[in-house]
Amino acid sequence: MEDLARQLWTGALPDPRAPGRALAEIAEYPAALARARALVGWDLPVDLAALRARWPWSIDLARLSVEAEGDLAPLRAAVAKAGRRHGVLARALWSQGLTDEALACLDTLDPASETFAEDQTTRAELRILSDLPADPVPGPRGLHLSLIATWRREGGGALARRLSLEAAALPAHPPIWSWLIDTFVAERDFVHARAALDGFAARVPDHPDLAAARIRLALEAEDWPGARALLDAQGERDAPWRWNARRHVQHLRCLTDEISATDQPDFTPLRQQAAAALRLYPRNGVLQGLWLMARELTEDWDALARDLTGWPDARAAATLLLRLGLPDAALAALNRAGPAPPDDAFRARLRRAEALLRKGALDAARAALGPPPDAAPLAADHAYWAAEIAAAARDLPAARAALAPALATSPTRMGLWLTAARVAFLAGEDAAATEALARFRALKTDQLGAPPEDDLRDLIARDAASPQPGPGRAARAFARALPAFRPLGGPPIPPRIAHYWEGPRSAPLDRSLRAWARLYPQRLYDAAGARDWLAAHTDLAPLFDRLTQPATRADLFRVALIAREGGLFADLDEYPRAALDDWLIGAAAVLVVEEGHATIANNFLAARPGLPLFARLQTRLARTLEATPHPYPWWHSGPAPLTLEADRDRDTPGLRFLPQPDYDARIATNLPFPHKRGPGHWR
């Protein structure tokens, strides 16, 4: 079969049915089954009905019918007739979301069956995954199941305590150690993930899963050179058709980082490699996700969104549609999703709530999220989104209430600590915000092996705790009370829009340009055009020339342009989905209070010409940038100084302050353009 694998690696087969036709010439059952498994795994046509007719007693051939065709009937019949391997049927039912039937078919097992022990183990596993009581199972597999049960009942913290107490007694059973490493990585607990790696290495030093675990931890630590060296040490770099799916996944993750580190990232090789790997493992969900990511990085997003309307994995399609700024399309994808295993069905519920949040429908998002599940790890995921929705609604007590139990059971989830820090900041609880950020920094240090640099979260929390007034206090004032809009007469905000862009233009960027052009007359400035405008209308051109970051140049230019000419300005990673004209009626300026820390966003601005707020802001930015050798854009030229100036005018008639949900209802924000993965992105 290696020749066929090599052909699939290089491209689609000229006659995909030919390998299946050759099955008719194989007389021996073991050889026919092995070939049928390979062909089904490659998603090549196989006449499984003919094979079942030749070997009607084969449960394995019946199981292939489920995988290839979704047909459970042959497997039900084969298991019933044989009176054994009920666990195979249960897993097939489970995979199609028939949870109750999967459990029911294991309720009355025959102790005389030759597969009784295996079926009993499957029953215990599925009951644990259903968060139901399960009978103990002897041996290493039973120990593995007990660890899974601990994690689901009590969370990552309890699993870490068990590892610390029982590590010395854990057996040399590779599935236990691989699962521990993967689970601690999912919990973002890198201290215990590395401890599990050490335990694995001490017991089974030559196991292939150990090498894969080392590579995974290198990737998670953002050490892609180390991961690449470990991958190359496995050999066969020139024969990728021999690799297992996991090695393809790790290679693609490493390749993504390698391409991202270049000055002008070109992700075409990533797409080619992902497509080839998916021909070998078309049913692998992780490879499907990497293939979709590669398409996101290389294709026109409108065309990609059209393709996703029929994507078989509705939840994966919805996740990508959200990244493309299309929450309504994501909801439509979720509406066509079929039954799924319990955990997958719950994750689809999370995606639905996220989609509604991203379109600004907070009440609907909260309703879609529903109550938390019983399993502690899933409850932590639920708590994150519950807190995000509550924080967006400025219901800070509800956000804290959602986070508290999750932080107790899953204390290494970095996202929970960041949300906790933001909620504490918005509530004016500076000590709690500082403590949560310190917890995050400690966990991030465990992951990377070095402390992370300060970013906007650290800066604004520190500023808010200072006795001196600054952006932190100003932002908190916007979080506590959004100023009422009092319309003005006089000339309207000019209905035209400007953008700034440096460097090559990607297909997603052109898509945003087209969307904005459908709404307003449009001007796109590059560095030279912006510099010429500044030279003609201001004295800022020499300062613009000295700035080395595209983001600070863009910040300075947008404020000067709006101060003099008014109109609208939008970053090109903002994607409009609806008309905005009613925002401009009676407004001297339209400003957005960001979801994160309630600062005023500068990714979208609208104002009448000559507004004092922007004149003052222009002066402030020029003074700051002249005096700051290495400015941090968000703090020195972006939302932080804009928030200070907006707070001074918060009660001025004509200022329309939009909460983030109102903005999200019409504009998708901060889309993941390809350039953001490379060094050209200011963050």
* CATH number of the domain bearing residue 586: 3.90.550.20
Report residue 37 as tokens: 């498994």
Q: How many residues does the chain have?
A: 683
Amino acid sitting at position 550: P
Q: For 644-660, give one letter per residue: b (16+ CB within 10 A) or e.
A: bbbbebbebebbbbbbb
Task: Please count the other Cβ atoms lying within 10 Å of the Cβ belonging to residue 572.
Answer: 22
In a domain, 329, yes or no: no
Q: So what's the pLDDT on residue 682?
A: 53
Which residues, at least 6 apart from 551, have a Cβ–Cβ distance to it below 8 Å? 633, 637, 638, 682
What is this structure's pTM?
A: 0.96
By C-alpha distance, which of 374, 426, 375, 372 is closest to 403?
372
Q: So what's the pLDDT on residue 264?
A: 83
At 198-222, the pLDDT tens digits run: 999 999 999 999 999 999 999 999 9
By C-alpha distance, which of 257, 312, 314 is closest to 282?
312
In a domain, 634, yes or no: yes
R_g of the chain, CA atoms, integer Å: 28
Report residue 507 as tokens: 């297909």
In a domain, 622, yes or no: yes
Q: So what's the pLDDT on residue 569?
A: 98
Q: So what's the pLDDT on residue 678?
A: 75
What's 678's DSSP letter? S
Q: So what's the pLDDT on residue 680?
A: 62
Q: What share of the chain is helix, strand, coil (3-state, %, to 5)?
A: 65, 5, 30
* Residues 454 and 438 sit within 8 Å (Cβ to Cβ): no
Positions in the chain whose pLDDT score sits under 70? 679-683
Ranges of H-type helices in 336-455:
342-358, 362-369, 376-392, 396-409, 414-426, 430-448
In a domain, 645, yes or no: yes
Report residue 302 as tokens: 């409108």
Which class for 120: exposed (0-12), middle (13-18), buried (19 or more C-beta within 10 A)? buried
In a domain, 601, yes or no: yes
In a domain, 96, yes or no: no
By C-alpha distance, which of 292, 343, 345, 298 is closest to 322?
292
Q: So what's the pLDDT on residue 676?
A: 85
In a domain, 664, yes or no: yes
Rounded to a whole number of angstroms, the distance between the first and last alpha carbons of the chain is 47
Q: How many domains does the chain have?
A: 1
* Residues 424 and 432 sit within 8 Å (Cβ to Cβ): yes
What is the torsional sign of CA 404, 408, 411, 413? negative
What's 652's DSSP letter? S
How far apart are alpha carbons 231 and 502 in whole angstroms?
Answer: 36
In a domain, 378, yes or no: no
Q: So what's the pLDDT on residue 683?
A: 35
Amino acid sitting at position 466: S
- Give residue 659's domain range: 481-677
